[in-house]
Amino acid sequence: MSSEKIAIRIRNLGKCYQVYDKPRDRLKQFVAPRLQGLFGIPRTQYFDEFWALQDISFDIRKGETVGIIGRNGSGKSTLLQIICGTLHPTAGDVEVNGRVAALLELGSGFNPEFTGRENVFLNAGILGLSREQTEARYADIVAFADIGEFIDQPVKTYSSGMMVRLAFAVIAHVDADILVIDEALAVGDTFFTQKCMRFLRNFMRAGTVLFVSHDTTSIRSLCGRAVWLETGRILQDGDAKEVSELYLQAFYELQQGHSTTTRLKPIKKQGADVPLKDQRLEFVNASNLRNDLQVFEFDASAASFGKGGAQIIDVRLEDLSGRPLSWIVGGEFVVLQVFVKVNENLDSPIIGFYINDKLGQTLFGDNTYLNYMTSPVTCHAGGVLKAQFKFQMPILSTGNFSVTVAIANGTQDEHVQHHWIHDALHFKSESTSVSTGLIGIPMASITMEVEDDVQ
């Protein structure tokens, strides 16, 4: 791939830190090896090596939006600092083509003793703007930050949210080619976060974005590709939706042990009088299950994970008469049924679902926990459990959608995930009435008329 199309190229990148047990070992390391070398004595090492990054290699194309995910300590922040040039690698090479603007650790690039105004000029200068260019954009930066009279107060008096506002306002006005966004946005208020997201989506039309977050929903929404770091190495690099699903599986396995029901798809490189919420959870006779699963489009081979104490064996989307639905128009009442084979005794089962769009973004969902919190359905090994959800389907935009289902045991906060299936059921929406947003509502009427002057 030609270098003109590459925004960031990383080859065999590594970063090693020297870790000393005692402060005096640092002095020994500075002096002793030199003296030992003079006298031909084998040199002693007084530190342990900690590799924060090892053998990292990937390219980011111009105009691409890439998410970086990983647990705390996986090397995400170290990688970003090397890309931005604030940290030097121990091994490997990093090539960056274009001006980089970064929002990394909270307050980085600010002098706490300077006022907000002074830090705007300082930070903009670091990012490559001349004083004249910063003065021409200063009013826009202040308006974007919207921190009022605090712009003339020392930054050390700012709240974390105010600091993020000012930092993002600066990087939004420096005409960067590459934006690097760490999780500092998480401390902003809702209104400012939405303003930042609007800016990001507009920037993504032509610019390159490297976005770091623990929130896999944001990764799936913003990014087409995700890189998963674990203990300083790349664990997965591929489609953002698929990598996010693997990351979710790893989260549960970290809490409860290895999955026994894993079926993971390979990562590819580069009107009726039915209550609005009506759920039922019960035992059913397994012999009554229909065998032709293809009718209901249940994908038994879809990506899944879990401990295996229960296994989802069928998912159905039907109308109120029991007829299977493979497409909808939105606004109608539907019945979603989930059938589970119980492999071990469960004292408090929870069955839930999410409706996802084609990007994997969760639109809505529910589970049985609140309905059975005070009177759990006890399930014995060998039985079949059925959950039934009756609800009015929102009006969805035209396209393909999927249902993710899961069976767990415990409570909302503490539970064992026995079987989780991504995209277990697919259906289509034929609606054309959603003009904006992810979903629509059953609009009763829309009118507009001229009124007399209101007194």
- Give the C-alpha separation, 360 to 146, whole Å: 34
* Mean pLDDT confidence for 219-235: 89
CATH, range 278-433: 2.70.50.60
* Mean pLDDT confidence for 146-163: 89
Between residues 382 and 48, the one the model is more confident about: 382
According to DSSP, residue 103 is labeled E
Q: Which residues pair with 337 in a beta bridge?
A: 316, 388
- Nearest alpha-carbon partner for 75 in 54, 46, 44, 47: 54
Least confident of 130-144, 150-164, 276-290, 438-452: 276-290
pLDDT of residue 272: 36
pLDDT digits (tens, 9 = 90+) for 332-385: 889 999 999 999 999 999 999 999 888 788 889 999 999 998 899 988 999 999
According to DSSP, residue 393 is labeled P
pLDDT of residue 134: 93
- Give the C-alpha separation, 131 to 121, whole Å: 7
Least confident of 36-40, 83-87, 121-125, 140-144: 36-40
User: CA–CA distance from 169 to each of 200, 303, 360, 453 (Å)?
Assistant: 12, 41, 30, 41
- Give the C-alpha separation, 205 to 130, whole Å: 26
Q: Is 430 left (phi over 0), alpha (psi -120 to 50) or beta?
A: alpha
Between residues 104 and 119, the one the model is more confident about: 119
pLDDT band at 177 (very low <50, low <70, confident <90, very high): very high
pLDDT digits (tens, 9 = 90+) for 239-277: 998 898 888 888 777 777 666 665 554 443 333 333 434
According to DSSP, residue 33 is labeled H
Q: Is 63 left (phi over 0), alpha (psi -120 to 50) or beta?
A: left
- Nearest alpha-carbon partner for 402 in 369, 451, 359, 452: 359
- What's the token pair of residue 282? 């019960």
> How many other CB atoms are found less than 10 A from the CB of residue 316?
23
- Give the C-alpha separation, 405 to 417, whole Å: 11
Q: Where are the domains of the chain?
A: 3-255, 278-433
Q: Is the pLDDT at 399 greater than 50, yes or no?
A: yes
Q: Is the pLDDT at 447 greater than 60, yes or no?
A: no
Element (H, E) at 210: strand 208-212
According to DSSP, residue 154 is labeled B
Residue 25 dihedral angles phi and psi, to the nearest 5°: -65, -30
User: CA–CA distance from 87 to each of 77, 247, 315, 383 (Å)?
Assistant: 10, 27, 51, 58
pTM (2 decimals)?
Answer: 0.68
Between residues 27 and 78, the one the model is more confident about: 78
Q: What SS3 state is found at 242?
A: helix
Same fold, 3-255 and 278-433: no
Percent of the chain residues past pLDDT 70, beyond the cut: 83
Do 394 and 440 contact (CB within 8 A), yes or no? yes
**Most trustworthy range by pLDDT among 27-36, 305-314, 353-362, 436-445:** 305-314
3-state helix, strand, coil in the chain (%, to 5): 30, 35, 40
- Give the C-alpha separation, 362 to 74, whole Å: 26
CATH number of the domain at 3-255, out of 3.90.650.10, 3.90.190.20, 3.40.50.300, 3.10.100.10? 3.40.50.300
pLDDT digits (tens, 9 = 90+) for 13-22: 999 988 888 8
pLDDT digits (tens, 9 = 90+) for 180-207: 987 666 555 667 777 887 888 889 888 9
User: CA–CA distance from 174 to each of 127, 131, 195, 201, 390 (Å)?
Assistant: 7, 12, 17, 17, 51
Q: What is the mean pLDDT of the chain?
A: 82
Q: Is the pLDDT at 89 greater than 90, yes or no?
A: yes
> How many other CB atoms are found less than 10 A from the CB of residue 127?
19
pLDDT band at 136 (very low <50, low <70, confident <90, very high): very high
Give the strands of the sheet with 65-69, arranged side by side.
100-103, 178-181, 208-212, 65-69, 225-230, 233-239
- Give the C-alpha separation, 50 to 41, whole Å: 26
pLDDT band at 295 (very low <50, low <70, confident <90, very high): very low
- What's the token pair of residue 35? 């003296």
Q: CB-based contacts of 30: which residues, under 8 Å, 6+ apart?
A: none
* Mean pLDDT confidence for 86-103: 90
pLDDT of residue 278: 56
Q: Is the pLDDT at 176 greater than 50, yes or no?
A: yes
> How many other CB atoms are found less than 10 A from the CB of residue 389?
22
pLDDT of residue 265: 47
pLDDT of residue 139: 93
pLDDT of residue 102: 84
